[in-house]
Amino acid sequence: MGIPALADLLDVQELDSQIDRLLERRQSLPELEDFRERHEEARRLEKTLREAAAELKRIELDLDKAEGELELLEVKLEEHETRLFAGGMSARETEHMRLEVQSLRGQKDAREERVLAILEEVDPAREAVASLRSRLEQVNSEREKLEAVIKEEWRKIDAEIARKEERKTAAAEPVPADLMDLYDKLRRIKEGVAIAAYDHSVCGGCHMTLSPAEEEDALSDEIPRCVHCRRILVT
């Protein structure tokens, strides 16, 4: 195997390492974690908002019902009081009407208390829904801004990766297919580093020092490989 092919392959390795770093950077942008946090918060807020809105609707329906019942009682009470004060009834009828008016007044007081109690619930419930909606809008706005930043960073990184890939293709062109196959196989099992410089008896891949005997054994092969990590060596 000619030395130029290994030198070209070392260039390929350097470009692959640069691409790997770019891919790692793509997946570890600080904005990504912030985006995920905002996304999860938005999901929680949406769930809480649905529950709060449902509770508010229930309270408002109760209020409408209580106010409607109070209104009917007030109309009925007014009618009975008008008949009572108008006179013209027998003593028995008058007493019956008086008791009816008294009962209606008691019912009216109870309905008024019920309406007041519901009113005490409805305002906090409306405030809770409004607060949740406001926070959700804020979180969604922050999430959209982060998404825009991430997309722009990804655009730049992807463009740089594309340029590196073009350079890698050119660098790999002189490398024989069988050597490229070995390189790709080693890359998969050697944490992305398949070939390394060999300098002063040290493997640039595993950083182990080769003894004179190990060096002779490694460099005697057509494709020099470290006896420790089995990476391809370039002298």
What value does the mean pLDDT of the chain take?
Answer: 93
CA 126 from centroid of its chain's CA atoms? 27
Whole-number Å distance between alpha carbons of 212 and 104? 111
pLDDT in tens, 68-96: 999 999 999 888 888 888 877 888 888 88
pLDDT in tens, 152-199: 999 999 999 999 999 999 999 999 999 999 999 999 999 999 999 999
Q: Which domains does the chain have, with CATH numbers?
A: 30-162 (1.10.287.1700)
Strand-pair category, 202-203 with 195-199 = antiparallel
Q: Facing residues of 198 across strands?
A: 203
- For residues 5 and 138, the model is more confident at 138
Can you give the length of the chain in residues? Answer: 235
